[in-house]
């Protein structure tokens, strides 16, 4: 039995490394590798260790997994009142990872897991994705007939918004927000893994940062500024009060936003549309119209929600009411994960969802809390403008990130930390 468990354990860790490496790439292979990773964990039979289950009440690091599991169960129960049961079942199937990771959070990973090695693989995947995407996009621009439906103009290089044009075409292969989220967390891991190798970091960080700028995501740029502030604040000496810590974050944030304002995509960034968001207009930003439509009649869902998977149809009906036929045909999701949770599960479900996220850094071991904070910030900021769980790559990114925090928290000996 021990030999069997060791073999399956090695396969399980190998699949985890493959999943980590594939994160920056299109999600086709990522889905199958992620599914095989979960199956191999169950085949390893760690869940038969009853003694670990008995100590669950004292295992604080398992709480985030339990909260996400409870949130998934609420999604499951919402099928009792969901009008479109097909959409509900589709959402439940997609979200199964939130249930499957609960036992992994309880029983943990096997002895083969090495967070430092996995972190290196993550960064290598980020770096490998850069020439891969740049080569593919260059080939596409030179020979647009390869993918006719993209309608690449022959004079694209002279196009004044070519940066945006580049990123929009990149989104056909990997959504830029998800790609940049992986790349940005790759910088965090690079700093932690190679913190003593300044020369290596001097190459890795600028290369990844330049690619993030090229892919043209405003939300990622804002997230990067905030995460940089938090990262630098973690180096503030402990003898200083928390006010110094917040001061460093604020200073870096202000400087960061000032620099980001020079970026083409940030020059037209503004929040003026929020003040009159519920007054729908074709002149508004698309996201403001989507949020405004969703908030037209909060009484429809505020108590217990519409049910899992009902958001798109609900928003389409609101656009139909005001005659926005173009928006109806697009079948938009909420483009805000918090708003989607409010629509699907009501106010109570949203509160549970937020608590699940906040529990990640709160339940992390003190020495690993910085990693948990960075991961939580990455998701919670990007969820403001996108349904991060609307794609499998977002769910798998969550699963892998939770895995990293779990591995770091479970380090109990120098051999595992090496």
What is d(CA 410, CA 141) in angstroms, rounded to the nearest whole number? Answer: 47
- The string of pLDDT tens digits covering residues 39-78 is 999 998 877 776 655 555 457 888 999 999 999 999 999 9
Per-residue pLDDT of 85-109, as tens digits, reads 999 999 999 999 999 999 988 888 8
pLDDT at 2: 76
**φ, ψ (nearest 5 deg) of residue 328:** -60, -45
Low-confidence winner among 182-186, 259-263, 374-378 (lowest mean pLDDT): 259-263
Residues whose CB falls within 8 Å of the CB of residue 54, separated by 6 or more in sequence, listed in order: none
268 burial level (CB within 10 Å; 0-12, 13-18, 19+): exposed
Give yes or no for residue 198 having a pLDDT over 70.
yes
Q: Give Cα separations from 113 to 150, 387, 403 (angstroms).
A: 42, 30, 10
Buried b (16+ CB within 10 A) or exposed e, 105-143: bbbbbbebbbbbebbbbbbebbbebbeebeeebeebbee
Categorize the per-residue pLDDT at 375 as very low, low, confident or very high, splitting at 50, 70 and 90.
very high
- The pLDDT of residue 218 is 79
* Burial class of residue 183 (count of CB atoms within 10 Å of its CB; 0-12, 13-18, 19+): buried
Which stretch, 163-167, 180-184, 405-409, has highest mean pLDDT? 180-184
Mean pLDDT of 205-233: 84
Burial (CB < 10 A; 0-12, 13-18, 19+), residue 364, is: buried
Cβ–Cβ < 8 Å for 59, 106: yes
CA dist 220 and 206 (Å) reads: 16
- Say whether pLDDT at 28 is over 60: yes
Q: Give the DSSP letter string of 9-65.
A: HHHHHHHHHHHHHHTTS-HHHHHHHHHHHHHHHHHTTGGG-HHHHHTGGG-GGGHHH
C-alpha to C-alpha distances, 11 to 6, 109, 263, 365, 407, nearest whole angstrom:
9, 12, 44, 28, 17
- Provide the token pair at 310: 């009902």
Return the pLDDT at 144. 66
Query: How much is the pLDDT for 414?
Result: 40
Instruction: Give the number of other Cβ atoms within 10 Å of residue 22's Cβ.
Output: 24
Asked whether residue 150 carries a pLDDT value surpassing 90, the answer given is no
This prediction's pTM = 0.87
């Amino acid at each position: 039995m021990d030999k069997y468990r060791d073999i399956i354990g090695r396969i399980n860790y190998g699949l985890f490394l493959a999943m980590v490496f594939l994160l920056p790439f299109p999600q086709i292979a990522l889905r199958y590798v992620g599914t095989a990773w979960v199956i191999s964990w169950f085949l390893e039979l760690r869940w038969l260790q009853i003694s670990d289950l008995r100590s669950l009440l004292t295992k604080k690091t398992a709480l985030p997994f339990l909260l996400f599991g409870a949130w998934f169960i609420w999604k499951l129960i919402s099928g009792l009142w969901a009008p479109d049961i097909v959409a509900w079942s589709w959402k439940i199937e997609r979200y199964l990872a939130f249930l499957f990771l609960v036992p992994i959070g309880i029983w943990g990973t096997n002895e083969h897991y090495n967070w430092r090695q996995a972190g290196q693989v993550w960064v290598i995947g980020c770096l490998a994705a850069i020439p891969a995407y740049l080569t593919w996009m260059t080939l596409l621009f030179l020979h647009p007939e390869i993918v006719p439906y993209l309608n690449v103009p022959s004079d694209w290089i002279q196009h004044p918004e070519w940066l945006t044009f580049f990123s929009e075409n990149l989104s056909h292969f990997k959504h830029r927000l998800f790609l940049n989220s992986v790349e940005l967390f790759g910088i965090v891991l690079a700093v932690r893994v190679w913190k003593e190798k300044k020369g290596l970091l001097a190459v890795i960080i600028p290369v990844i940062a330049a690619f993030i700028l090229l892919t043209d995501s405003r939300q990622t740029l804002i997230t990067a500024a905030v995460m940089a502030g938090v990262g630098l604040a973690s180096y503030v000496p402990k003898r200083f009060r928390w006010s110094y810590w917040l001061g460093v974050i604020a200073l870096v944030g202000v400087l960061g936003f000032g620099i980001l304002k020079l970026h083409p995509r940030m020059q037209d960034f503004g929040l003026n549309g929020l003040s009159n968001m519920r007054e729908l207009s074709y002149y508004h930003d698309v996201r403001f119209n989507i949020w405004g439509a969703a908030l037209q009649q909060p009484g429809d869902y505020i108590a217990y929600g519409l049910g899992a998977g009902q958001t798109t149809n609900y928003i389409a009906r609101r656009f139909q009411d005001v005659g926005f036929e173009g928006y109806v045909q697009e079948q938009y999701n909420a483009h805000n994960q918090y708003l989607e949770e409010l629509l699907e599960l009501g106010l109570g479900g949203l509160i549970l969802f937020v608590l699940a996220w906040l529990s990640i850094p709160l339940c992390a071991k003190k020495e690993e809390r910085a990693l948990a904070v960075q991961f939580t910030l990455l998701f919670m900021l990007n969820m403001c403008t996108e349904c991060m769980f609307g794609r499998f790559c977002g769910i798998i990114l969550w699963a892998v990130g939770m895995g990293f925090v779990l591995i770091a928290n479970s380090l109990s000996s120098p051999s595992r930390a090496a």
